[in-house]
Amino acid sequence: MSQETTAHHDDHHAHHPTGMARWVFSTNHKEIGTMYLIFSLAMFLVGGAMALVIRAELFAPGLQLVNPEFFNQMTTMHALVMIFGAVMPAFVGLANWMVPLMIGAPDMALPRMNNWSFWILPFAFTLLLMTLFMPSGGPASGWTLYPPLSLQGGNSLAFVILAIHLMGISSIMGAINIIATILNMRAPGMTLLRMPLFVWTWLITAFLLIAVMPVLAGAVTMLLTDRFFGTSFFNAAGGGDPVLYQHIFWFFGHPEVYILILPAFGIVSEIIPTFSRKRLFGYTSMVYATASIAFLSFIVWAHHMFTVGMPLGAMLFFMYATMVIAVPTGVKIFNWIATMWRGSMSFETPMLFALGFVVLFTIGGLSGLMLAIVPANFQYHDTYFVVAHFHYVLVTGAVFAIMAAVYYWLPKWTGHMYNEKLGKIHFWWSTIWVNVLFFPQHYLGLAGMPRRIPDYAVQFTEFNMISSIGGFMYGFGQLLFVYIIWQCVRGGETANAQVWEGARGLEWTVPSPAPLHTFDTPPLVDDSVAVHKDNLS
């Protein structure tokens, strides 16, 4: 079915290399997207293995498996690998694959830079992961690298900082590319307010990336000079201020957590209408809510550090600003439910993961609202309550959305339907065990267990055991995800161009699998083709 189109395009691009060179020199958004996604999956398994080391040690009180120093390296590396290696590259991979297809562009605006953005990453993570094998060990001061503790480690800190710089360069180049593509390469008639919400959320995310990645680079560079070149930015004895680092870091860090969730909002906003067979409710307000969340993310950073001792006025400001984020986030959740309401829903795997996202992300959002309340935050801060909160928004939030996206678009990528039965088993297995894993951590935090400890008082034993069992079941369950993808790539029921009966948008007008080159002639877009149709716009 797609043969003709492919053959037609190959005439224009006959010089395409094969073998390894095809991937190393690729400037094609689909191939680069695929590489990002495979890299992300590999890092997800590496970071997951580190999480299992943590959960194994915490299965019972007393130290059984690892010494505290290595435990701290695991918590630090798990976070860095998952955030910068798994979740962010997955979203960039999805953007690479889908943004040009969704806006009717033939490729990304800057294809050579696109190649470089990806190929920096394997080197960055080689640098990061090799520190584990150095004499002084990997970074062990938490992913936030708070000084003075982070400055106490060995020379491996220099490798970590260089790796972070490389990841930052990769992210900034990726973000520039996405903005340039969305602003310049939309098909005729694809006005900004006709764009799919995934494209909108990525446009806003890309601006966040460009704004804050340099801030992170600045913060870690100051760490580098403090550690190796005798400066005292964060050294109190030299007139510096350790708290300054926290302000700079979280000025990056809070927008960063929205970088990790806004594209997820976009994905869910694509999937729920498709399987509800109804257009997205309140499209325009979804766009404005996303932009509001992005703006607010810049003025709430200090809520990560209420216990450092801030003036009363500052604490009140950051508390109120943080609470306000609940309003646009609430709008999103209400709009998703209004989209389902009186729709005609069916529950294929992408929809199941999207619905799981809405429920579990809401739980994480509500615990986030609790964390904003400063007096109570003095109790919650740095406990397992916080660990539970951010894993609800990152695992059952970001990761569930990424998995939903993979199931949703996999037939478009491979030309085959995945195994629906296994997909559903994967969803239910993940959903049950991820809650066994993270829900008891709320109780542990409230009962007084601090985070980042390798051993604990015996009254915390039961909930830690339950959590560890959940962790192992959830973790090994993800091998099923790998198997389903592998199986789908290899073969399966042939997918047609539309794939999902209720899906709208340009990506469903090209054949499955999408040929290497699409939209060489831009399509014409009007309201009948547009994904979303808000009565206001």
Partner 1 sequence: MKRTNELIVALAVLAVITVITWGVFAVGDNMPRGVTPYSQDVYQLHNTILAIVTVIGVLVFTAMFTSIVVHRRSKGYEPARFSHSTKAEVIWTSIPILILVVMAVPATRVLIDMEDSGGAEMNIKITGYQWLWRYEYLEDEISFFSALDRASNQARQIGSGINPRDVDNYLLEVDNRLVVPVNTRIRFLLTADDVIHSWWVPDLGWKRDAIPGMVNEAWTYIMEEGVYRGQCAELCGKDHGFMPIVVEAVSREEYDAWVASQRQGMADAAHDAARLWTRDELMDRGANVYQAQCAACHQPDGSGLEPAFPALARNGAPTGELNSHLDVVMHGREGTAMTGFGSRLEPQDIAAALTYTRNAWSEEEGEVVQPATIAELNQG
Residues 268-307 touching partner 1, rule: CB under 8 A, are 276-285, 307
Pick 67 or 494: Cβ nearer partner 1: 67
Of the residues 23, 36, 143, 146, only one is catalytic, namely: 143
Pick 454 or 515: Cβ nearer partner 1: 454
Pick 29 or 389: Cβ nearer partner 1: 389
Planar angle of CA 15, 20, 26, nearest 5 degrees: 55
What CA–CA distance (Å, rounded) separates 196 from 525? 12
Q: Answer yes or no: 116 catalytic.
A: no
What is the end-to-end Cα distance of the chain in Å, rounded?
37
Q: Answer yes or no: 254 catalytic.
A: yes
Residues 397/365, Cβ–Cβ less than 8 Å: no
Quick one: which segment of 7-15, 97-105, 123-131, 141-149 binds partner 1 (CB under 8 A)?
A: 141-149
Q: Answer yes or no: 381 catalytic.
A: no
| 51-90 positions binding partner 1, by CB under 8 A | 61-64, 67-69, 72
Which residue from 510, 436, 440 is spatially nearest to 473, judged by alpha carbons?
436
Which residue from 508, 526, 520 is spatially nearest to 188, judged by alpha carbons?
526
Which residue from 248, 194, 263 is spatially nearest to 218, judged by alpha carbons?
248
Residues 98/507, Cβ–Cβ less than 8 Å: yes
Using CB under 8 A as the binding criterion, the count of chain residues that bind partner 1 stands at: 103
Q: Answer yes or no: 304 catalytic.
A: yes
Token readout for 46 is: 């590496």
What CA–CA distance (Å, rounded) separates 11 from 436? 54
| 444-473 positions binding partner 1, by CB under 8 A | 444, 446-448, 450-458, 463
Contacting partner 1 (CB under 8 A), which of 46, 193, 291, 323? 323
- The neighbouring-strand residues paired with 450 are 383
Q: Answer yes or no: 78 catalytic.
A: yes
Q: Answer yes or no: 451 catalytic.
A: yes
Quick one: which segment of 130-138, 157-165, 169-177, 255-263 binds partner 1 (CB under 8 A)?
A: 130-138
| 145-184 positions binding partner 1, by CB under 8 A | 146, 148-149, 152, 154
Contacting partner 1 (CB under 8 A), which of 120, 178, 319, 488? 319
Quick one: which segment of 25-33, 208-216, 339-347, 420-428 binds partner 1 (CB under 8 A)?
A: 339-347
Give the CA distances from residue 508 to residues 9, 253, 409, 461, in Å, rounded to whole numbers and listed in that order. Answer: 19, 36, 10, 51
Task: Tell me if 21 contacts partner 1 by CB under 8 A.
Answer: no
Q: Answer yes or no: 107 catalytic.
A: yes
Residues 209/281, Cβ–Cβ less than 8 Å: no
Q: How far is the CB of 108 from partner 1 (least distance, A)?
A: 31
Give the CA distances from residue 350 to residues 103, 301, 492, in Å, rounded to whole numbers and listed in that order. Answer: 22, 33, 17
Cis status, amide bond into 148, omega within 30 of 0: yes
| 365-424 positions binding partner 1, by CB under 8 A | 366-367, 369-370, 373-376, 378-379, 381-383
Residues with catalytic roles: 78, 107, 143, 170-171, 254, 256, 258, 269, 303-304, 329, 332, 451
